[in-house]
Structure 1
Amino acid sequence: MNSVWATTQPAVYVAMKHIFPRGPDQRRLLRASAIKPPHGTFSRMPSTRGPWPGCAAEVAQRIMEAVFGAMAQPLPDRLFGAPAGTSGNLALGGHDPEAERDYIMYFFSGGGYGAGLTGTA
């Protein structure tokens, strides 16, 4: 799995808002975060190669975990245990001949986060 810039940047922002919920607005937080992944790496694949499966959920979660891990040592009082592991996305679609209509179903099974130093996140 890889990520495009349009997924990497918001994933870092969401992670930082988890760490600093009362922090600056998005513009200031993104400027202060200085996200600079090299082109062609896991977190900044070229978007011209088509869609990246799982990029909007699974990969974004892994990027957020990397931010949490990077911030855990300098800010142990603000961080928490690892999240659920995988986000489990499932999408199904087809045609119901009895109802004579198309259908689509999307299921997302997210998980919680672990406790922090004080027993809560």
Structure 2
Amino acid sequence: MRHIAPEIPISASAFEPLKVTGHQGTFLNARYPRPVSGCSAEVSQRIAEAVFAALVNALPNRVTATPAGTSGNFAPGGHAPERGADYVMYRLSGGGYGGNADH
């Protein structure tokens, strides 16, 4: 939100958290024991996209396009018999940032 209105002074609550809520039992508001994965990468970008999309009609010259579309999460794992150990690799291939009305 800070990038949408850079003229707002930092001391004017410009960094106050934006609260995003979801319906009980959905991915954004899951309850144990429902499995949840990908929260730190993929879902955070979807939330940002939804917020930007909600603001585009109100602030068409300020809101940027969505960031990268998707993260491209890739997480292979297995067992290395020569080492006698399990392994996991997590690769996150991000993308660019969205354009705006001027760029």
Query: What does residue 75 of structure 2 align with?
Result: 91
Structure richer in helix, relative to its length:
1
CA positional deviation for 1:96: 1.4
> Which residue in 1 is equivalent to 2:41?
57
**One-letter amino acid of the counterpart of residue 84, structure 1:** A
Output the TM-score relative to the length of structure 2: 0.70
Q: Extract unaligned runs of 5+ from structure 2.
A: none
Q: Which has the larger radius of gyration?
A: 2
Alignment partners' CA distance in 2, 1:82 and 1:109: 16
Runs of 4+ residues over 4 Å off in structure 1:
20-23
Q: Which runs of 5+ in 1 are unaligned?
A: 1-15
SS state at 1:19 partner: coil
**How far 1:112 sits from its partner (Å)?**
1.1
Distance 1:36 1:98 in 2: 47
TM-score (norm 1): 0.62
Work out the CA distance in 2 between the residues paired with 1:20 and 1:111.
Answer: 23
Q: Structure 1 residue 19 and structure 2 residue 4: aligned?
A: yes
Aligned positions of 1:21-36 closer than 5 A: 23=10, 24=13, 26=15, 29-30=16-17, 33=18, 35=19
2:91 aligns with: 107
Q: Report % sequence identity.
A: 45
| SS of 1:95 mapped into structure 2 | strand
Alignment of 1:75-90 (within 5 A): 75-90=59-74
Q: Show CA shifts across 1:34-91 (max 9, x none).
A: x363532646423323331222222221111010111222222322223322211111
Q: Which has the higher contact order (CA 8 A, sep 6+)?
A: 1
Q: Residue 10 of structure 1 corresponds to which residue in structure 2?
A: none
Tell me: CA distance 1:38–1:55, structure 2 relative to 1, closer, same or farther (3 Å).
closer
